[in-house]
């Protein structure tokens, strides 16, 4: 079964991606996790990281009118959406086991949902 794994991280984690003092540690955790998924053969699509929420635009159609604003939907969230992967695993329990290993699980949250 295919599952999307959505990662949610704090503003501090978004900053750690590029901060010289923290980025090596930040990325080494993610690269190790991604390699583990590759080695196990569960990484169907490698996904990608998302830029910080302030770089997004939110678009809504209300009463036939397009409303567009700067920032991500739910920008006030404690841990905004930060990235995604597509897994090919046996069931939801296996998807949840992989989600628990993601670096974001300890500092933010990881959501898994069936795809299709």
pTM, to two decimals: 0.88
Domains in the chain: boundaries: 2-114
The CATH fold assigned to 2-114 is Alpha-Beta Plaits (3.30.70)
Residue pLDDT, tens place only, 41-97:
999 998 899 998 889 999 999 999 999 988 888 766 788 899 999 999 999 999 999
The residue ranges of DSSP E strands in the chain, in sequence order, are 2-8, 43-49, 57-62, 65-70, 81-88, 109-114
By CB atoms closer than 10 A (0-12, 13-18, 19+), residue 79 is: middle
pLDDT in tens, 15-48: 999 999 999 999 999 999 999 999 999 999 988 9
């Amino acid at each position: 079964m295919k599952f999307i794994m959505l990662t949610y991280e704090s503003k501090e984690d978004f900053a750690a991606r590029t901060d010289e003092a923290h980025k090596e540690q930040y990325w080494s955790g993610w690269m190790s996790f991604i390699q583990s998924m590759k080695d196990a053969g569960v990484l169907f699509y490698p996904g990608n990281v998302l830029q910080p929420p302030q770089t997004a635009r939110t678009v809504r159609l209300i009463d036939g009118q397009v409303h567009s604003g700067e920032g991500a939907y739910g920008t006030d969230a404690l841990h905004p959406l930060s990235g995604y992967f597509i897994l090919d695993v046996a069931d939801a329990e296996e998807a949840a086991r992989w989600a628990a290993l993601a670096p974001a699980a300890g500092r933010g949250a990881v959501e898994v949902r069936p795809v299709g």
